[in-house]
């Protein structure tokens, strides 16, 4: 099953880390967050990816174009001729379709521009700035069981501040940044049927607005509730949280494969 990763946004809320690179190339443990996302899907056997590029997309192309040379354990360079030879292949056996989907294209428009890759059946989609330990096999099983056009993974993020429970002036409970109990949000990690393309008008269509709203109104959108780890990378604080998890050897998104060093 093909996996779409939306990587075209400018990442303005993480400007400290995205001035010189696209957000999906911001590193956690010496690897771009995009690499971590692909690794998670590949651990479930999904290794063909459509990467929707936009802002600074050439950097993502360059990273994967040179991936085999960079990751090979032995590399020989003949300076006179410029010939290169590598011994040993990278562990990753992935196929990536790196597609420029425009600088200002909205998320729905980016997906629509990939339609020719995705017409042959069910596919998945997620954002290039969020990590989770969602069980992809269970997600797909849930999607196939309900028979609708679309599945969204619903998550409850951590609250941004500690939670106090008060009895008058007495603090009766304190929780430091607990999981929010205020409702479910869009966590990405979608599963779609090709019929969703009929809900997207063009480049100016945001996937999160009219298409998902119309799918919901027509009873074609189901929610897979994921109650375990999920973390976006919207701010510098979020990046530090993810980096700390990696450095502590406690990265939930990497547990299935075993955490890999950079």
Give the model confidence (pLDDT) of 213-262 as tens digits. 999 999 999 999 999 999 999 999 999 999 999 999 999 999 877 675 54
Return the higher-pLDDT residue of 120 and 259.
120
3-state secondary structure 169-219: CEEEEEECCCECCCCCEECCCEEECHHHHHHCCCCCCCCCCHHHHHHHHCC
Of the listed ranges 45-54, 86-95, 191-200, 222-231, the one predicted with least confidence? 86-95
86 pLDDT higher than 50: yes
Which pLDDT belongs to residue 87? 82
Give me the chain's average pLDDT, please: 89
Look up residue 20 and give its DSSP letter: S
Query: Is 90 exceeded by the pLDDT of residue 210?
Result: yes
Task: Report the alpha-carbon distance of residue 122 to residue 226 in Å, rounded.
Answer: 20
Q: CA-CA-CA-CA torsion for 233, 237, 240, 246, nearest 10 degrees?
A: -50
Is residue 27 pLDDT above 70, yes or no? yes
Query: CA geometry: angle at 25 spanning 20 and 29, to 5°?
Result: 115
pLDDT tens digits, residue range 146-183? Answer: 999 999 999 988 765 555 556 665 555 555 555 555 57
Is the per-residue pLDDT at 19 higher than 90?
no
Q: What pLDDT, on a 0 to 100 scale, did the predictor assign at position 9?
A: 87
Tell me what the mean pLDDT of segment 118-145 comes to.
97
Class of domain 3-254: alpha beta
49 and 42 Cβ atoms separated by less than 8 Å: no
Whether 49 and 11 have beta carbons less than 8 Å apart is answered as no
What is the chain's length? 262
Residue pair 164/72 in contact by the 8 Å Cβ criterion: no
Distance (Å, rounded) from C-alpha 208 to C-alpha 202? 14
Predicted pLDDT of residue 158: 73
d(CA 155, CA 227): 6
- The whole-number pLDDT of residue 262 equals 45
Taking residues 117-124, what's their average pLDDT? Answer: 96
Would you list the DSSP string of 101-151?
--SS--HHHHHHHTHHHHTTS-EEEEETTEEE---HHHHHHHHHHH--SEE
What does DSSP say about strands 221-226 and 150-155: parallel, antiparallel, or unpaired? parallel
Percent of the chain whose predicted confidence (pLDDT) is above 70: 86
Predicted TM-score of the model (pTM):
0.88
Contact 123, 197 (CB under 8 A): no
Q: Specify the pLDDT at position 75.
A: 86
Dihedral (CA of 95, 118, 254, 244) sign:
positive
The conformational region for residue 238 under phi > 0 = left, psi -120 to 50 = alpha, else beta, is alpha
pLDDT at site 140: 98
> What confidence score (pLDDT) does residue 157 get?
81
């Amino acid at each position: 099953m093909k996996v779409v990763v939306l990587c075209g946004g400018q990442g303005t809320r993480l400007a400290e880390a995205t001035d010189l690179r696209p957000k999906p190339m911001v590193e956690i443990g010496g690897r771009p967050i995009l690499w971590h996302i692909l690794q998670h899907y590949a651990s479930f056997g999904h290794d063909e990816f459509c990467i929707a590029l936009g802002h600074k997309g050439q950097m993502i192309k360059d990273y994967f174009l040179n991936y085999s040379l960079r990751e090979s354990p032995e590399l020989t360079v003949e300076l006179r001729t410029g010939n290169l030879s590598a011994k040993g292949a990278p562990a990753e056996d992935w196929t990536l379709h790196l597609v420029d989907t425009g600088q200002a294209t909205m998320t729905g428009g980016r997906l629509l521009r990939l339609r020719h890759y995705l017409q042959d059946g069910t596919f998945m989609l997620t954002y290039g700035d969020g990590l989770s330990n969602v069980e992809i096999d269970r997600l797909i099983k849930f999607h196939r069981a309900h028979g609708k056009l679309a599945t969204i993974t619903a998550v409850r993020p951590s609250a941004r501040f500690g939670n106090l429970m008060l009895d008058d002036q007495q603090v009766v409970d304190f929780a430091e940044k607990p999981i929010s109990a205020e409702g479910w949000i869009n966590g990405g990690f979608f599963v779609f049927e090709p019929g969703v393309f009929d809900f997207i008008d063009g480049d100016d269509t945001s996937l999160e607005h009219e298409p998902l709203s119309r799918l919901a109104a027509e009873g074609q959108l189901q929610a897979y509730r994921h109650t375990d780890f999920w973390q976006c990378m919207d701010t510098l604080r979020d990046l530090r949280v993810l980096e700390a998890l990696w450095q502590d050897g406690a990265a939930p998104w990497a547990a299935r494969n075993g955490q890999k060093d950079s």
